Structure 1
Amino acid sequence: MTDRKEKDELLGASSVAVTRGGASQGPVDDAPPSYTLSAENGPVQPNTLLLAGTTIYSAGAAASPPLYEVSFAIGHLRESNTTVSLSRFDHVVRATEQQVSVPRVSTRKKHIYDLKRALASRLTNPTFMYFLESQSRGTMGHFGLKTHRHRFGTASGYRAYKASRPRPHADLEPQDIAFVAKDRGKGRYEWRDGGSDGEKRLVAHETSENGIYKLQVVVPLSQRERDALVALWCLHLWWEIASANVEPMSWEQGESRLRPSVLLDPVH
């Protein structure tokens, strides 16, 4: 079992700070222990994830250790923020020849994705306003998120595309649809596998109510799939919350925008 000192270190773990327009830092992975048993060796079973502040826990286990951490509380993000890092906690069982009967659980934090928002001051429109940049070779790669609308113009949710860069520093270009988030109303979304029709396997249910954010994963997923799904869930929440948190224009701002057109009006 983890002693008190290890718990304090785990709960006090720091992450990469939110940047405004700056470049993200590359991944730094700890060296693996000599003997390990971790979730990466098999599928991750269905469970419900709870986002509380900057930490993501399993909601089904009392006093469960954290599973993921974002570098800034999603609920406080605005459209002016540009980068948030997502790290995964790997809880590893260490055993030595002298401690076979009493294995020791240790925790490693691994930077897996950067959640990104394109700069609003750009002259050209990017393909994705919100996207994921992989920070580890073990992930499914880059992703871009787009809103999806019915042919009648009403919003129906989001589509997450696998994405790639044709050359360094170029914008991400969309590839296949990886996941689809369907809007079910009242802060509820249904996440499914992607594809040409976006009507494949049901993967998870998302709920947002009174500042409580949950993702109920209903099928076994590989570690890479769950990492991508969790990152896209956080990215989608950022988009939704930032859009809702846009402050209304003040009277002074509105007046300053109208003043040039008023000055150009002919005097009769």
Structure 2
Amino acid sequence: MDSDTESLKKPVEKNILLDPAVLFLSAQSVVAEADPSTPLYVLSTDIRSIPNKNSSVKLERVENVDDGPDGSQGAPPKRHQHIFYLVHPEHAQYRTDIPARYYITSAVPETVGNIRLEASEARLQRTSFRALLSAGKTASDRPLFNEGAQQLVLFEIQPSGKVGLSSTSYKWSDSKGDQVATEGKENSRYYLKVTSSLPQDVRDALVATWLLRLWHDTAESKEAKREFFESMTSPEAYRESVDGYMKRQCILM
């Protein structure tokens, strides 16, 4: 990260530098290739499911508890630290009252801040992304995001690999253009290969943005859009729209 980004981030207790690692999404957990039985992060719902009725998903970091007695046997106890909300508001594509279609807000002040994910159509219909950081912001702030020059480019996410494959791989770089990670799909599992040593708070933001990008792919897929339009034309949806219309007419009378 460049000096401007570093200066705007809040300090994080025990913000040690984490080594490069390969992470996998396993249902609602993120695990490391080196120890796939121990979750590092946990989601409150499966972001890859269709349909997904949730507009906000909790992301928790799984931490070791260090206050046990010295020399204790067995695995150290764990605790879940809620760090982020991943947000995709309902019917976001039709709304103007929300800050973004896909964004992240901080549940605690010890994170990098709130993050807005911007998507843009790249060459050959392949989408690229930017993660824009409003440093120091949390879910309780209003507005949630800074504007203009106050927003920092946290990550640039560019498609890579051969065109025409069923899944696209991506290269992640920081604000200086240095690569920090790559992502793709291997044996039906989604992976994030972190290629740089990163502080804990930046690693947390990287994982959260990766998961939000995967949620984007699911929510914007042909399957999700087909399910949405089929649900809107179902008898249940028709009855709900008629009932809503009748209620509004009664109010106006």
Task: Give TM-score scaled by structure 2 length.
Answer: 0.71
**d(CA) in 2 for partners of 1:154 and 1:73?**
27
* Counterpart contact for 1:93–1:103, Cα < 8 Å: no
- Work out whether 1:190 is the aligned partner of 2:171: yes
In the alignment, which residue of structure 2 is the partner of 1:230? 207
In the alignment, which residue of structure 2 is the partner of 1:140? 112
Which of the residues 57, 62, 65 maps onto 1:92?
65
In the alignment, which residue of structure 2 is the partner of 1:159? 130
> Partner letter of residue 215 of structure 1?
L
Task: After TM superposition, give the deviation of residue 65 of structure 1 in Å.
Answer: 1.5
Over 3 Å counting, the alpha-carbon distance change for 1:168 and 1:45 in structure 2 is: closer
Unaligned stretches of 5+ in structure 2? Answer: 1-12, 162-166, 235-253
Task: After TM superposition, give the deviation of residue 126 of structure 1 in Å.
Answer: 3.5
- Work out whether 1:54 is the aligned partner of 2:28: yes
In the alignment, which residue of structure 2 is the partner of 1:108? 79
Structure having the higher Rg: 1
Identity of counterpart residues, as a percentage? 27
What secondary structure does 1:67 align onto?
Answer: strand
- Work out whether 1:42 is the aligned partner of 2:2: no
* Counterpart contact for 2:60–2:81, Cα < 8 Å: yes
**d(CA) in 1 for partners of 2:105 and 2:85?**
5
Aligned length: 209
**d(CA) in 2 for partners of 1:114 and 1:77?**
20
Task: After TM superposition, give the deviation of residue 60 of structure 1 in Å.
Answer: 2.3
RMSD: 3.3
Query: Which structure features the higher share of helix residues?
Result: 2
* Counterpart contact for 1:188–1:207, Cα < 8 Å: yes
What secondary structure does 2:216 align onto?
Answer: helix
Partner deviation per Cα, 1:11-33 (whole Å, 9 max, x = no partner): xxxxxxxxxxxxxxxxxxxxxxx
Task: Give TM-score scaled by structure 1 length.
Answer: 0.67
Task: After TM superposition, give the deviation of residue 92 of structure 1 in Å.
Answer: 3.2
Which of the residues 136, 153, 171 maps onto 1:177?
153
**d(CA) in 2 for partners of 1:95 and 1:141?**
31
* Counterpart contact for 2:170–2:184, Cα < 8 Å: yes
Task: After TM superposition, give the deviation of residue 59 of structure 1 in Å.
Answer: 1.0
